[in-house]
Chains A and B, each alone.
Chain A
Amino acid sequence: MGRNTIRIGPLVLAGVIALGLPLAVRSVTYLHILVLLYLYAYLTTSWNLVGGFAGVLPLGHSAFVGIGAYTSTVLSLQYGISPWIGMMIGGILAAIVGVIIGLPTFKMRGAYFALATIAFAEGIRVMVENIDNLGPIRLNGPRGLQIPPLNTGLLNFMFATKEPYYYIILFMLAGVLLLTYAISRSKLGHYLVAGGEEPEAAMALGVNVARAKLIAMAMSSFLTAFAGTFWAQFTLYIHPKSVMSLDISFEIAFIALIGGRGSIAGPVLGALLLRPVTDFSRIYFGGKLPGLHLIIFGVVLILVMIYQPRGLQEPLTRAYRSVTKKLFGHTEAA
């Protein structure tokens, strides 16, 4: 087995499985769970651009989800603009806000940065919650906006079944993974990593660390906003607590951290593992022992962080390597 086959082969296999899953999985509930899983994998991979590569811990990404969701929803409800266009506009808006947030906060380290992002996200949420009408724009404050499931079709980003949503989010996920891969191999990627680990050394070498981080933040927030639009079109109802809450920011960050931030597949891995844990423990325990699923989630978080602080992708990589070594005599790397 050549090295390239070991490289490309699994990827092709994963792609085929992913494309074919909806044909095998007939249960609507499981499709729903899968869609949400891919959505979170998408969110965490986008987050990874800042949180993983740039080495900081942003805990306010829910603001971008909210910006994306509200922009496309308001534009489509009030002005009849297609959600796809609204998605782009929302992304641009989010990128601008992301840069505004990033400018002052990137100077801070560690805990302070995290707290600042929380403050921004919560501040934005509180404002949206209190504003019913921003000039001519109806935001409806805490009552949120409902999208009537009327015109289905690709142009309107609205479908009666789950399958189209599945493929759209799969496509988005593949796209963002490819982007991450491309960045990791590019100059920007190296600047970010250097800036994250040894900022002084990087700057001494002439790397404009601040600019690299801002670019990463802009990209990350742009992409995160897309997820907001997707969410709005998938669940058909948004309000500040559902698209802008701190819970979402935390969940994204934790999935990435558990999977292994800074690696390309870490976030996806984290989502693959944690989302089912959350969903299934809520399904099996939620009705009988309320709150038990959150206890389980907390325990999983703690255990993983104690035993595998770099994320689960590390032991899995090693395991995979030893397997391929045994099977084919060498791994795909050197």
Chain B
Amino acid sequence: MQYILEDVINGILMGSIYGLAALGLTVIFGVLKVINFAHGSLLMVGMYVAYWAVILTGLHPYLALVIVVPVMFLFGYFLQDIVIKPIFKAEKAVREPITVIIVTTGVWYILDNLSLLVFGPQYRNLQDNPLRGKMLEVGGMLLSVPRLWGFFAALLTALAIYLFFQKTRTGRAIRATSIDREAASLQGINQYKVYNVAVGIGTAAAGIAGVSLVPFYNIFPSVGVLFDIKCFIIVVLGGLGSIAGALLGGMIIGVIEYVGTQFMAATWTEAIVYGLFLVFLFLKPSGLFGVKYEW
């Protein structure tokens, strides 16, 4: 019992990274109203981009953000433009085109296996990066330094995205489109351009999550699959489209994993997370902070 504080704090730190990973998903989900099954793959791409950026330039992983963020933004922008936009165009009247789910699944299969072909199945690691293995000792508790960095990255990214949506013209246009895309386009907003930017932002966020993971995680083609379902659970927990919700949802999951494992086998904490997910879906489907979503 005396370890509870240490577990909760560590859970919050790792959970904030989960939240960061889910941030991109909640933005895309909230704006486009589609389930993006390729999100885990985007995270994987982000990790590979971060990995290669550090290897080729020798930069500190967080400095590599300068490369990762624009690359991922453009990647997401064009992914939406080329692959997903045609479906939106075809299904103008439908509020939630379900076929996009299939397309994103196709993207997932393609991205994961393309990276298997190109990069090979082996596990890569940033062995000698400055953050590896560093721990902070605070009052008898051991806190993981790379995860601490991830925590701050998550907060800053969330803040940045929030400010973007509130203060900038494009941000407001995105919010308008997410509420009612027909009305927004009547106001002169190019909804497709809005979607492109939204997906770009979401993908860039996945890239940042990737950067915060590479200092201590393995990089391999199917790494995205591990995070995929977890991100969906977090998004539902926190509320569709809610940035604060994604972070909070991630932290809750993190705490459950860390604290729960002390009392039961790690395999059962998985079941608990699913259980919690279902409870939220039924009792409070809009999540902790979500906008009331009409059924």
**Footprint of B on A, CB under 8 Å?**
57, 104-105, 107-112, 114-116, 118-120, 122-123, 126-127, 129-130, 250, 254, 257-258, 289-292, 294-295, 297-302, 305-306, 309
The reply to whether B34 and A111 form a contact with Cβ atoms under 8 Å apart is yes
Q: Is B285 an interface residue (CB 8 A)?
A: yes
Using A116-B278, A118-B229 as known contacts, say yes or no to A298 and B98 having CB atoms under 8 A apart: no
B residues in contact (CB < 8 Å) with A:
29, 33-35, 83, 86-87, 90-91, 96-103, 105-110, 112-114, 116-117, 121, 221, 229, 232-233, 236, 265, 267-268, 270-271, 274-275, 277-278, 281-282, 285, 293, 295
Q: B281–A126 contact, CB under 8 A?
A: no
Which of B101, B229, B274, B277 is within 8 Å of A114, CB to CB?
A: B101
Of B98, B106, B265, B285, the residue contacting A57 (CB under 8 A) is B98
Q: Are B105 and A295 in contact (CB under 8 A)?
A: no
A-B contact pairs, 18 of them (CB 8 A): A108-B285, A110-B98, A111-B101, A115-B232, A115-B236, A120-B278, A122-B274, A123-B274, A130-B265, A292-B117, A294-B112, A294-B113, A295-B109, A298-B108, A301-B109, A305-B100, A306-B87, A309-B99
- The smallest C-beta distance from B154 to any residue of chain A, in angstroms, reads 23
A11 nearest CB across to chain B (Å): 30
* Inter-chain contact B295/A116, CB cutoff 8 Å: no
Given contacts A118-B229, A122-B229, A309-B90, is CB(A257)–CB(B99) below 8 Å? yes
| A302 and B106 contact, CB distance less than 8 A | yes
Which secondary structure dominates chain B's binding surface?
helix
Residue pair A108, B117 in contact (C-beta under 8 Å): no
Quick one: given A126-B271, A130-B271, A306-B86, are A290 and B103 in contact (CB under 8 Å)?
no
The residues of A that contact B293 with a CB separation of less than 8 Å are 112
Contacts of B35 in A (CB 8 A): 111, 114-115
Chain B residues with Cβ under 8 A from A122's Cβ?
229, 274
Residues of B within 8 A of A301 (CB): 102-103, 105-106, 109
Closest CB-CB distance, A298 to chain B, in whole Å?
Answer: 3
Give, as a whole number of angstroms, the nearest-CB distance from B29 to chain A. Answer: 8
Could you list 7 further interchain pairs (A-B, Cβ under 8 angstroms) beyond the known A119-B233, A130-B265, A302-B103? A57-B98, A108-B281, A110-B98, A295-B117, A297-B106, A306-B103, A309-B90
Measured between alpha carbons, how far is A152 from B285 in the docked complex, in Å?
Answer: 50
Pick the 8 closest A-B CB pairs, nearest first: A291-B113, A298-B109, A301-B106, A298-B110, A298-B106, A302-B106, A123-B274, A291-B116
Question: Could you tell me if B285 and A112 are in contact, using CB atoms closer than 8 angstroms?
Answer: yes
Partner among B98, B105, B232 whose Cβ is within 8 Å of the Cβ of A250: B105
Partner of B268, one of A130, A290, A302, A306: A130
Looking at chain A's contact residues, is the secondary structure mostly helix, strand, loop, or mixed? Answer: helix
A119 CA to B270 CA in the complex, in Å?
A: 11
A-B contact count (CB 8 A): 125
Contact A119–B106 (Cβ < 8 Å): no
Is A306 within 8 A of B90, CB to CB? yes
Nearest A-chain residue to B109, judged by Cβ: A298
Residue of A nearest to B96 (CB): A110
Residues of A within 8 A of B221 (CB): 291
- Which of B86, B98, B110 touches A295 (beta carbons < 8 Å)? B110
Asked whether, in the complex, the Cβ of A254 is within 8 Å of the Cβ of B271, the reply is no
Return B98 CB to nearest CB of chain A, in Å: 6
User: What chain B residues lie within 8 Å of A120 (beta carbons)?
Assistant: 278
Q: Closest Cβ of chain A: how far from B95's Cβ, in Å?
A: 8
Question: CA A18 – CA B257 in complex, angstroms?
Answer: 52
* CB nearest to A261 among chain B residues: B98
By a CB distance below 8 angstroms, the chain B residues around A305 are 87, 99-100, 102-103, 106
Cα(A291)–Cα(B117), bound, Å:
7
Inter-chain CA distance A258–B101, complex, in Å, is 12
**Given A116-B281, A295-B109, A295-B113, is A302 in contact with B271 using a C-beta cutoff of 8 Å?**
no
Contact with A107, one of B114, B229, B295 (Cβ below 8 angstroms): B295
Which one of A111, A116, A292 has the highest number of Cβ atoms from chain B below 10 Å of its Cβ? A111
Q: How far is B86's CA from A289's CA once the two chains are assembled, in angstroms?
A: 30
Chain A nearest CB from B155 CB (Å) reads 27
- Compute how far the CA of A89 lies from the CA of B45 in the bound complex, rounded to whole angstroms: 46
Q: Which residues of B contact A297 (CB under 8 A)?
A: 106, 109
Q: State whether B109 touches A111 (Cβ < 8 A).
A: no
A115 cross-chain contacts in B, Cβ below 8 A? 35, 232, 236, 281
Once bound together, how far apart are the Cα atoms of A115 and B293, in whole Å? 15
Residue picked from B110, B229, B275, most chain A C-beta under 10 Å = B110
CA distance A46 to B180 in the complex (A): 36
Residues of A near B29 (CB, < 8 A) are: 111
List of A residues within 8 angstroms of B277 by Cβ: 119
Q: Say yes or no: A112 contacts B281, CB within 8 Å.
A: yes
Q: Shortest distance in angstroms between A114's beta carbon and chain B's nearest beta carbon?
A: 6
B281–A290 contact, CB under 8 A? no
Q: B97: which A residues are within 8 A, CB to CB?
A: 309
Contact present for B114 and A295 (CB under 8 Å): yes
**Interchain CA distance A109-B281 in the complex, whole Å:** 11
The CA-CA distance from A137 to B97 in the complex, in Å, is: 44
**A119-B281 in contact (CB<8A):** yes
CB-nearest residue of chain B relative to A254?
Answer: B102
Q: Are B90 and A299 touching (Cβ within 8 A)?
A: no
Alpha-carbon gap, A109 to B96, bound state (A): 10
A122, B117: Cα distance in complex, Å: 29
Is there contact, CB below 8 Å, between B285 and A123? no
Chain B's closest residue to A258 (CB) is: B102
Question: For the complex, what is the distance from the CA of A305 to the CA of B88, rounded to whole Å?
Answer: 11
